[in-house]
Amino acid sequence: MSATDVLGWVGAVGVLVAYGLLTIGRWQSSTLPYQATNAVCAGALLVWAISIRGWQSALLNAVWMLVGIVGIVRALRSSAAPEPHVGD
């Protein structure tokens, strides 16, 4: 098994685990762990898809990775936002 095959398997399992944890309510879609897992694993699948010249899968995973990156940025911004003061 080649290094890109290993990346492909790790990416596939990671995306499935993230989706499973989201589905059973252990993760929320707006959180950093979910978005980071999706982005990193989609990146791994992208490398694998390019290595086998699977352009449809490469396109899908490139878009999925970009969506994850946007999610990471949003999660980081929301965690850095100051807590609102109530009752001052």
Q: How does pLDDT run across 19-78, given as a tens digit for each residue?
A: 999 999 999 999 999 999 999 999 999 999 999 999 999 999 999 999 999 999 999 999
> What is the predicted pLDDT for the residue at 45?
98
**How many C-beta atoms lie closer than 10 Å to residue 7's C-beta?**
18
What's the whole-model pTM score? Answer: 0.85
Query: What are residue 80's phi and psi, to 5 degrees?
Result: -90, -10
> What is the predicted pLDDT for the residue at 84?
66
- The C-alpha atoms of residue 57 and residue 72 are separated, in whole angstroms, by 22
| Cβ(63)–Cβ(38) below 8 Å | no
Tokens 């994850």 sit on residue: 68
pLDDT for residue 88 is more than 90: no
